[in-house]
Chains A and B, each alone.
Chain A
């Protein structure tokens, strides 16, 4: 009786099995790792904008406060983007002919808004509110990173639900004194009041911050 399989079939079978095993390991690894990789959440991806606005220049260089442009951050869920008029408060006086600023001048002349590309975007079923975080001692840089070191703005944190929950489970260490909220270089140091003091000072703790209904409606 002749053999059904030639000897080389052994090799083929082994290789196939190894390939399937490798695929399985790789697949599971991918499935596990992909959501955990910053790159997949577009962290540190620069976004091209119609005007290459530099936070580094305006914040670190000129010392303009965040609230000058993001004016509604203390009262609304929406931090607000500066209207063209805000840009033109200065740029009608300085850099009036700069090529880079042509779209801004055009926007004012045509009464057509500038269309910026989103850098951070939360899903529509998440209702993040800027005002309450500012009021309770969460600084801008906690989520937006060192914006004053960004020539072009990029997303600094993953902003996944896990990222939010890390803080909502234990907000104390993320809180900072009231006068440091808009300081994007702030770091917790030995002078910083302990988390428990800050929690008491901001009256944080009454609510179950991990309830679904805190962020989802």
Chain B
């Protein structure tokens, strides 16, 4: 029998707060207010009569054939009506590419899948790639050129650029500046180099709000060059992650997650890896670590110095916690199989030290490779922006071109970019959506979306991809390559021609064939950066990171997991995506540690005044279990002032506090606000707390089945669906890192609407798939567990027996199907569902969404108001495979559900359980397999593989 443990999701639940308990005990807590309100019987009867009448009318079917059929004048090549087409491209975040394949329906992009051939994807996607569908069709995108805030056209722009070209050419580029983000595009790099050669006095500034500057500078300190370090987690047996972004946002994180997960399930891997993490605030990698330590900036410094001493000099430092010595011992004992990784927020000297440690541990060539830089001239990002601003203030800048960057919003406020911009005669901002910078610039030019134009980019390991055009432009945007070229010539060649001229010399063999293959495969073969043979500088190991000032409070500025630096703020899927660890939507309160909250007597949602020098702002707080008490975390990317209808003024803008060295202070303000957190929604009630089963590797070694599902209860009646297939799923809790890619993939595939902040507060969010995050233990330093929750497709489904109209029934292949047209909205099914996975359309959410109908998946019904819905196991994909295999008279083949396809760690496995050779059948044979709430006798078709942790026996006897 599994160990009984107390698992909790929110702090209120842990504290057994009586008001909380009574609230969540109801299936529809938001109805409590309405039910409590006194209403006279006459009014109730009137409303009921009206509801009957309206319901009867609504059920009438006019039955008339309507509408039109519009065939093409000439059918474009490769398009068969009704069948999808797939075209590869790549999604670029912070300059780095990950391969994707875009699914088209009759020429319209409708879904993003990963590219299995691309090294940074291997078939998986992240949340940003999935959400591109919504960005592409965003009605708020910049649609027209404006000059001085007034409408302009291309002709006027060309005239202005002619003047600029003449002026810039006359003074050899003096006063001409270009500002971009990180660039890995070989074509754009070539263009910029040519531009700078033509105008020698011009300067190119490179800047990202969420910078990887420390990573590159650290590499320069250690190796003399900004070499890129590419970890190979499949080979790593002991990993030490220091405030690391390895699984969440580092370039190549999807690949790292896949490799990491390949060593985490003891029933499938020869030797399970061990992961130590030390961090000031919880991250994805910390949440899945075997040992997680909490350390503020000051302790992190001590720990790293002690670790370096222990590994490089063999003498541990006594000032550091004693676990450091044990971790160092474990790392040392695994020469050639160990890896240390440090995140981009830590100073460059620390990175240099980590490089030295890795060299000493024999990691290079084994668990990590050093390759030639991928980004174009990566070093020195931060400095040039401040240079640019000081030059602007000194009126040394006359012309400024800003490409897909938003410095007015995201530059450290202390720099004063916005004021300096006013002093420039000619400023041009090329942006996808109107933003703060395009608003402040003289010329605002709409940028073509990545799917509307041609480009190229490189992945974390240097592999290049051609980004091919996916659709005709929806708006009159100009692509990046054309924009840069317009500063050198009046009529530049098309972007596609520029790309081909770059690649003509770089592709081997017949160019036409090589080009075609590169487009078809989504990558250019043999373009990965070569391994470098630079040797570690002698002084790398003796780097002394500057000790952080001894402060009672440090603000950590981190990118929002969904909105990144703010560029995705107008994407409703990302805004409403519960953040992996806090489960907050539409908002970014300041994250504070439980200890500090106790000290200031703060509760979730209470407002605080946070000041750094002269900058003061008021924001609500959220208590983050497992955070260092001397840190508060400000998530960047919210509080956009000029972005579009979705993201406008959602959340709080913490950028004004960045870039200041003053001592921050935090004090309680008077009031509090309500936050849209889904943590306490859809709670599963289980008295034993037996929700996420977990145990240690030691116990697993003694008895692999120690967590396996207990005995099924005896029963009188047992009905088993007897179709030709038995659809089932197995979810590996060892693999899930809580990244949310599956949630957005599901939303995109199944036409799931967003509901908005107020409706989320009313517990009406619609995502069919959610990832529950459970805590266990002390709220100051809990262990956390992720558990994806979706419809379990119970063989004995409690929802089906209570439906008065037979709207939810079983089919012969074991699917619990929802017949939308029968549903009358009693919500009995949701009430009776022990897993709380059913979602009800309280309003016409889908109809109210601002997205064109052609952006939806045509194979899935768009649900109307008053209808219950839930996960269908991607029935449309099942149906497609059923039909195709029947048509070809062959057995059912393998296919993937949307969540499974998007998952970077292959946590999901879906298929035909009746076929013993299927992946899902094999996974269900795992000794770790268990059914959630098995005592309810629901016989779920979704089962979980229990989480096994591999703690160091020196540090923790059992750990499980």
| Complex: A78 Cα to B813 Cα, angstroms | 26
CB of B80 within 8 Å of the partner chain: yes
Known: A72-B80, A208-B812. A217 touches B875 (CB 8 A): yes
Q: Is B63 an interface residue (CB 8 A)?
A: yes
Q: Is B514 an interface residue (CB 8 A)?
A: no
Given the known A-B contacts A135-B887, A208-B812, A217-B876, are A121 and B71 also in contact in the complex, defined by CB atoms under 8 Å?
A: no
Q: B819: which A residues are within 8 A, CB to CB?
A: 212, 216
User: For B862, what are the chain A residues with a Cβ–Cβ distance below 8 Å?
Assistant: 124
Contact between chains at A113 and B71 (CB < 8 Å): yes
A150 part of interface (Cβ distance < 8 Å): no
With A47-B65, A207-B723, A207-B882: A84-B73 Cβ-Cβ less than 8 Å: yes
A83 at the A/B interface (Cβ < 8 Å)? yes
Q: Which residues of B contact A114 (CB under 8 A)?
A: 70-71
Cβ of B81 and Cβ of A72 under 8 Å apart?
yes
* CB–CB A40/B63 < 8 A: yes
- Contact pick for A115, options B66, B68, B81, CB 8 Å: B68
Q: Which of B688-731 contact A (CB under 8 A)?
A: 723-724
The residues of A that contact B812 with a CB separation of less than 8 Å are: 207-208, 211
| Chain A positions within 8 Å of B813 at CB level | 208, 211, 213
Q: Does A107 contact B (CB under 8 A)?
A: yes
A148 to B14, CA, bound (A): 73
In residues 849-885 of chain B, which contact A (Cβ within 8 Å)? 859-862, 872, 875-876, 878-879, 882-883
User: CB distance B817 to A212 under 8 Å?
Assistant: yes
Contacts A75-B83, A124-B861 known; A83 to B73 CB distance under 8 Å? Answer: yes
Q: Does B19 contact A (CB under 8 A)?
A: no
Query: Which of B65, B68, B71 contacts A83, CB < 8 Å?
Result: B71
B807 nearest in chain A by CB position: A212
Within 8 Å CB of A75, what residues of B? Answer: 80, 83
Chain B residues near A216 (CB, 8 Å)? 817, 819-821, 861
Write the nearest CB–CB distance from B809 to chain A, whole angstroms.
6
**Chain A interface residue count: which class?**
35 or more
Interface centre among A108, A114, A120, A155 (most CB of B within 10 A): A114
Task: Determine the chain B residues whose CB is within 8 A of the CB of A116 once the complex forms.
Answer: 68-71
Residues of A within 8 A of B83 (CB): 72, 75-76
- Selected from A127, A131, A132, A213, the residue in CB contact (under 8 A) with B859 is A127
| Bound-complex Cα distance A106 to B612 (A) | 69
Chain A min CB distance to B720 (Å)? 14
Q: Is B75's CB within 8 Å of the partner chain A?
A: yes
Q: Which residue of A lies closest to B821 (CB)?
A: A125
Q: How far is the CB of A212 from chain B (nearest CB, A)?
A: 5
| Residue in B81, B875, B889 whose beta carbon sits within 8 Å of that of A203 in the complex | B889
Chain B proximity mask over A53-88: 1 for CB below 8 Å, otherwise 0: 000000000000000000010011110111111000
Known: A47-B65, A127-B859, A217-B872. A81 touches B71 (CB 8 A): yes
The answer, among B63, B66, B889, for a CB contact under 8 Å with A118, is B66
| Interface: B552 (CB within 8 A) | no
- Residue-wise interface mask of B (30-69) relative to A, using a CB-CB cutoff of 8 A (1 in contact, 0 not): 0000000000000000000000000000000001111111
B886 neighbours in A (Cβ, 8 Å): 132, 135-136, 203, 206-207
Given contacts A82-B71, A107-B73, A217-B860, contact A132 B81 (CB under 8 A): no
B811 on the A face (CB < 8 A): yes
Residue A119 CB within 8 A of the other chain: yes
- Given A127-B879, A135-B887, A216-B861, the answer on whether A113 and B65 have CB atoms closer than 8 Å is no
A134-156 interface with B by 8 A CB criterion: 135-136, 155
Docked CA distance A216–B818 (Å): 9
B338 within 8 A of A: no
Q: Is B74 an interface residue (CB 8 A)?
A: yes
- What's the Cα separation between A173 and B875 when bound, in Å? 29
- Contact between chains at B63 and A76 (CB < 8 Å): no
Number of A-B contacts (CB under 8 A): 130
A116 CA to B812 CA in the complex, in Å?
39
| CB 8 Å contact bits of A186-209 with B (1 = contact, 0 = none) | 000000000000000001001110
| A129 located at the interface, meaning its Cβ lies under 8 Å from any Cβ of chain B in the complex | yes
B602 on the interface (CB 8 Å rule)?
no
Contact among B66, B81, B876 with A78 in the assembled complex (CB-CB below 8 Å): B81
Chain B residues in 8 Å Cβ range of A78: 81-82
Judge if B72 is at the interface, Cβ distance under 8 Å: yes
Contact with A along B382-404 (1 / 0, CB 8 A): 00000000000000000000000
**Is A112 an interface residue, CB under 8 A from the partner?**
yes
Closest to B79 in A: A72
Alpha-carbon gap, A32 to B257, bound state (A): 61
Once bound together, how far apart are the Cα atoms of A102 and B859, in whole Å? 36
CB distance A119 to B65 under 8 Å? Answer: yes
Chain B residue, CB-CB nearest to A47: B65
Candidate in B82, B817, B861 with the most chain A CB atoms within 10 angstroms: B82
A111 within 8 Å of B (CB atoms): yes
Closest to A204 in B: B886
Contact B67 A121 (CB under 8 A): yes
Residues of B within 8 A of A136 (CB): 886
Instruction: Tell whether B741 is near chain A: CB-to-CB under 8 Å.
Output: no
8 Å CB contact of A120 from B65, B68, B878: B65
Closest-CB distance, A122 to chain B (whole angstroms): 9
A114 to B64, CA, bound (A): 22
* Chain A residues closer than 8 Å to B882, beta-carbon distance: 207
Question: Which chain B residues border A157 with CB–CB below 8 Å?
Answer: none
State how many angstroms separate the Cβ of B58 from the closest Cβ of chain A.
14
Contacts of B66 on A, CB cut-off 8 Å?
Answer: 118, 121
Residues of B within 8 A of A132 (CB): 883, 886-887
> Which of B83, B859, B879 has the largest count of A CB atoms less than 10 A from its CB?
B879
Check A77/B82 contact, CB under 8 A, given A118-B66, A135-B886, A217-B876: yes
CB-CB under 8 A for A76 and B879, given A117-B68, A120-B65, A213-B817: no
Which chain A residue shows the least CB distance to B82? A78
Report chain A residues within 8 Å CB of B876: 127, 217
Q: How far is the CA of A116 from the CA of B67 in the complex (A)?
A: 9
For B860, list chain A residues within 8 Å (CB). Answer: 217
* Cβ of A168 under 8 Å from chain B: no
B822, chain A: closest CB distance, angstroms: 9
By a CB distance below 8 angstroms, the chain A residues around B878 are: 213
Would B80 and A115 count as touching, CB distance under 8 A?
no
Most A C-beta atoms less than 10 A away, residue of B68, B73, B83? B73
Contact partner of A112 among B65, B73, B82, B883, CB < 8 A?
A: B73
- Whether A217 and B65, one on each chain, are in contact in the complex, defined by CB atoms closer than 8 angstroms, is no
Does any Cβ of B come within 8 Å of A44's Cβ?
A: no
Q: How far is the CA of A65 from the CA of B723 in the complex (A)?
A: 37
- For the complex, what is the distance from the CA of A107 to the CA of B817, rounded to whole Å? 44
| Cα A206 to Cα B725 with chains together (Å) | 10
Q: Is A42 an interface residue (CB 8 A)?
A: yes
Please pick, from A108, A117, A129, A208, the residue contacting B723 in the complex, using a CB distance under 8 A: A208
Contacts of A123 in B (CB 8 A): 821
Distance (Å) between the CB of B805 and the closest chain A CB? 13
CB contact under 8 A between A211 and B811, given known A76-B80, A80-B81: yes
Cross-chain contact A115 with B70 (CB below 8 angstroms): yes
Distance, CA A112 to CA B135, complexed state (A): 29
Q: How far is the CB of B71 from chain A (nearest CB, A)?
A: 4
- A85 partner residues in chain B, CB cutoff 8 A: 73-75
**A→B interface (CB under 8 Å):** 40-42, 47, 72, 75-78, 80-85, 107-108, 111-121, 123-125, 127, 129, 131-132, 135-136, 155, 203, 206-208, 211-214, 216-217
21 A-B pairs with CB atoms under 8 Å apart are: A42-B63, A75-B80, A76-B80, A76-B81, A76-B82, A77-B82, A82-B71, A108-B73, A114-B71, A116-B70, A118-B69, A119-B65, A121-B65, A129-B883, A135-B886, A207-B723, A211-B723, A212-B811, A213-B879, A216-B820, A217-B879
Nearest 5 CB-CB pairs, A to B?
Answer: A78-B82, A208-B812, A76-B82, A211-B811, A81-B71
In addition to A113-B73, A123-B821, 13 A-B residue pairs with Cβ atoms within 8 Å of each other are A42-B64, A72-B83, A80-B82, A83-B72, A83-B74, A116-B69, A116-B71, A118-B65, A118-B69, A208-B813, A211-B723, A213-B879, A217-B860
